[in-house]
Amino acid sequence: MKEKATSFDIAHRAGVSQSTVSRALNNSPLVSKETRDRIVEIARELNYQVDKNASNLRKQKSNTLALLLFEDPTTDDSLINPFFLSMLGSITRASASQGYDLLVSFQNMQSDWHAEYEDSNKADGIILLGYGDYSAYRSKLDQLEEQGTHFVRWGAQDKAHPGVNIGCDNYQGGFDVTNHLIGLGYTSFAFIGDNSEDAPEFRARYQGFADALDKQGLSGESQRQINAHSTEPSGYAAMKAMLNDATLPRAVVCASDLIAVGVYDALREANLRVPEDVAVVGYDNIPISGYTTPALTTVRQNTTKAGELLVDTLIKAINKEVVEDYLMPAELIVRRSCGAQ
Amino acid sequence: MKEKATSFDIAHRAGVSQSTVSRALNNSPLVSKETRDRIVEIARELNYQVDKNASNLRKQKSNTLALLLFEDPTTDDSLINPFFLSMLGSITRASASQGYDLLVSFQNMQSDWHAEYEDSNKADGIILLGYGDYSAYRSKLDQLEEQGTHFVRWGAQDKAHPGVNIGCDNYQGGFDVTNHLIGLGYTSFAFIGDNSEDAPEFRARYQGFADALDKQGLSGESQRQINAHSTEPSGYAAMKAMLNDATLPRAVVCASDLIAVGVYDALREANLRVPEDVAVVGYDNIPISGYTTPALTTVRQNTTKAGELLVDTLIKAINKEVVEDYLMPAELIVRRSCGAQ
DNA sequence: CTGAAAGCGCTTACAG
DNA sequence: CTGAAAGCGCTTACAG
């Protein structure tokens, strides 16, 4: 392993000062073409690369974005929610195309957010992503705000909440999918998914569900709701409980696709057919949803666009531009599980 | 936004020198408990965080790993191979648990690898991940090697190749899954997936396929092979071509699950049932494979373990420990698509 | 167009 | 146990 070349090595070989090397390599117009060409050539020969730490230290910015993924503490360690995996992919792409590096880390809600502070020094801004306990989350956001850290958050809109939110209209998504079921003639419903302050996304989906029913005079139906977080086993357990305790709803609205897949399992076990006996719809449009039998009707959050929006907004904030919340429309994806076809 | 606090600010407030602050915050045993406690307290008050750029510059290491994802140039931009997404997840976890930050970037094969060089200054080492054109790839590896960059590569073993490889036994996987089909009584076969030097993983799977057939005196069968890269449309097109041109094989071995899903599409369109008319097996065990109808028999590469192995090996290499190639066993996952059940 | 010099914020020998 | 000082490798006013 060779010694790493520095700008001084190049200056020496080129017979110029180190300042000139730096200028040439940064495409400063102050350098003559011949000098620049010579320097660039030598830099190539020496496999020279600017030391980012030195350069960033001097420039006081890092050209790096940090992505913090919050996991639901109840999630199995080996499994990342496919929706977030997809977001991770699109955010990675979006930052690359903007010329920013992306630092990725997982963050446990319980931890003391040590990592964030560290990241806040290595990155110009932070993207926050994750379901999870919102109340715990809140105080951390205040800390970030106080620190003057630039950040954007993916998730539910919240006026009282500091910082910028990019999110998908969960209320509308819940409303639309439920309305679609109503249009198909169903009259008995249940919602499976958390409905608490700690899970604002799921809660908004539930609100949309309830309001859609109310609007059609089916208000009594909106009461049927069972908590579940976004995993297949949790959905399975919730549906199982419903099969034991209640009269069977004809249509089940799930707060996520993963829950819906668990609901499929429970129904299959009970020898009930989807959608003939029970219609099921999900949320997220994870890849699996198109391949289940029957294919799952769901609500799509456009992750490609979401990633771009998060990255663009954060970069604007870093550049001191004014940024504001953005609510993406949710998109209903109709497949076989709701009995439409 | 407040000014960011530096170690001098803390020193001033604590009435000690800046060196002492640095020592205290780095848990140096040279600082008395009282001094340390006072300093830590003040640091907390000021929301102080070490400037990583300065610290890294001084220490000449970054505690950061870079993950480079190579995309197949033919891949649709909006879609990341789910297998890599899964690896990305496990690598992120593994680096976090080792206390390393992870820099993620996509790399187009055509590009001049500018990014790598840059990354090589921000990171202590690089993890390379991706299918793609191996011949183009090769020369880049030599460059990295020459630069003295620490790196590990996920992929096919290759004696002639520089650096350390962690991979899954593609030959064995191809052999096992084919052997399993033979055991079920099939006698006519086809392989769908590239078989060229540029795709060594697929090629090794094909070799396993061919050798399994040879061993049972079915050598003639090993000739039936159609190129396809790892996408659903590519698998669809390949199966379509086979349906038109050749007598139908009873069992199709696909070089990846994505290809197999495309094969399903083509067979469904031709009103052929899986596995009654044609048995199909895939490779990778992506999440979707468990949810197709019928569920897809496939070969699992343990991504969790792979991620840990890549990260651990790279960190060892960074610490100048001796590291060597590792070949993980492939694991056959039998589901309905092969007709076993 | 070019060079000499300051300084980004740390860590760590060196001296006490 | 603590402080004064050097230096990591850059970028960029400042002076010519």
- What's the CA–C1' distance between A60 and C6, in Å? 16
A264-273: Cβ within 8 A, 24+ apart: A264/A292, A265/A232, A265/A235, A265/A236, A265/A239, A266/A235, A266/A236, A266/A237, A266/A239, A266/A240, A267/A239, A270/A243, A272/A248
**Protein residue minimizing CA–C1' distance to D2:** B20
Please give the span between the terminal C-alpha atoms of chain A, in angstroms, as a whole number: 64
* Paired tokens of B127: 């993890």
Contacting A residues, span 235-274, partner chain B, CB-CB under 8 Å: 261
| CATH code given to domain A7-50 | 1.10.260.40
- Considering only CA atoms, give the Rg of chain B: 26
Question: pLDDT value at position A213?
Answer: 92
pLDDT-based confidence at A116, cuts 50/70/90?
low
A105 — contact with chain B (CB < 8 Å)? yes
Give the Cα separation of B146 and B314 in Å (integer).
17
Compute, in degrees rounded to 10, the torsion defined by CA atoms B178, B184, B187, B189: -40
* Paired tokens of B61: 């290491």
- What's the CA–C1' distance between A113 and D1, in Å? 32
Residue with tokens 């070989």: A13
Of the candidates A246, A259, A134, A258, the residue with the CA atom closest to the CA atom of residue A198: A134
- Considering only CA atoms, give the Rg of chain A: 26
Give the Cα separation of A239 and A246 in Å (integer).
10
A241-247: Cβ within 8 A, 24+ apart: A242/A190, A242/A192, A243/A270, A246/A190, A247/A188
Assign B133 to helix, strand or coil: coil
Which range has highest mean pLDDT (A87-101, A321-335, B2-16)? A321-335
Question: B2 to chain A: which residues are within 8 Å by CB?
Answer: 146-148
Q: Is the CB of A35 under 7 A from strand C?
A: yes
Decide whether A7-50 matches A170-301+333-338 in CATH topology: no
Q: Is the CB of A63 under 7 A from strand D?
A: no
Query: Does residue B3 surpass a pLDDT of 70?
Result: no
CATH level 3 topology of B64-167+302-329:
Rossmann fold (3.40.50)
Give the tens place of pLDDT for each residue, A26-74.
888 887 888 888 888 888 878 788 888 888 888 888 788 888 877 654 4
Q: Is the CB of B7 under 7 A from strand C?
A: yes
Interchain contact, B47 vs A293, CB within 8 Å = no
Interchain contact, A106 vs B92, CB within 8 Å = yes
Interchain contact, A88 vs B89, CB within 8 Å = yes
Q: How many CB pairs under 8 A join A and B?
A: 128
Q: Looking at A45-59, A69-83, A158-172, B33-47, which range is the least confident one?
A: A69-83
Mean pLDDT value across residues B129-148? 68
CATH level 3 topology of B170-301+333-338:
Rossmann fold (3.40.50)
A127 — contact with chain B (CB < 8 Å)? no
Closest residue of chain B to A80, computed from CA coordinates: B89
Question: pLDDT value at position B222?
Answer: 64
Q: What's the per-residue H, E or C state across chain A? A: CCCCCCHHHHHHHHCCCHHHHHHHHCCCCCCCHHHHHHHHHHHHHCCCCCCHHHHHHHHCCCCEEEEEEEECCCCCCCCCCHHHHHHHHHHHHHHHHCCCEEEEEEEECCCCCHHHHHHHHHCCEEEEECCCCHHHHHHHHHHHHHHCCCEEEECCCCCCCCCEEEEECHHHHHHHHHHHHHHCCCCCEEEECCCCCCCHHHHHHHHHHHHHHHHCCCHHHHHCEECCCCCHHHHHHHHHHHHHHCCCCCEEEECCHHHHHHHHHHHHHCCCCCCCCCEEECCECCHHHHCCCCCCEEEECCHHHHHHHHHHHHHHHHCCCCCCCEEECCEEECCHHHCCC
List chain B domain ranges.
Answer: 7-50, 64-167+302-329, 170-301+333-338
Give the Cα separation of A177 and A114 in Å (integer).
40
Q: What is chain B's mean pLDDT, rounded?
A: 83
| Burial (Cβ within 10 Å: 0-12, 13-18, ≥19) of residue A174 | buried
pLDDT-based confidence at B209, cuts 50/70/90?
very high
Question: pLDDT value at position B193?
Answer: 93
Q: Give residue numbers, 294 to 333 of B, with CB < 7 Å from strand D.
A: none
Give the Cα separation of A77 and A179 in Å (integer).
36
Which residue type is seen at A143?
Answer: Q
Contact partners, residue B88, CB within 8 Å, separation at least 6: A85, A88, A89, B67, B69, B104, B129
Residue with tokens 């343990």: B302
Assign B341 to helix, strand or coil: coil
Q: Is the CB of B6 under 7 A from strand C?
A: yes
Classify the phi-psi angles of B103: left when phi > 0, otherwise alpha if psi is within -120 to 50, otherwise beta: beta
Q: What is chain A's mean pLDDT, rounded?
A: 83
Q: Is the CB of A4 under 7 A from strand D?
A: yes
Q: Is the CB of A16 under 7 A from strand C?
A: yes
pLDDT-based confidence at B299, cuts 50/70/90?
very high
Selected from 3.40.50.300, 1.10.150.650, 3.40.50.2300, 2.60.40.3140, the CATH number assigned to the domain covering A64-168+302-329 reads 3.40.50.2300
Q: Give residue numbers, 48 to 87 of B, with CB < 7 Å from strand D.
A: 54, 57-58, 60
Look at B119 and B61; give whichever has higher pLDDT.
Answer: B61
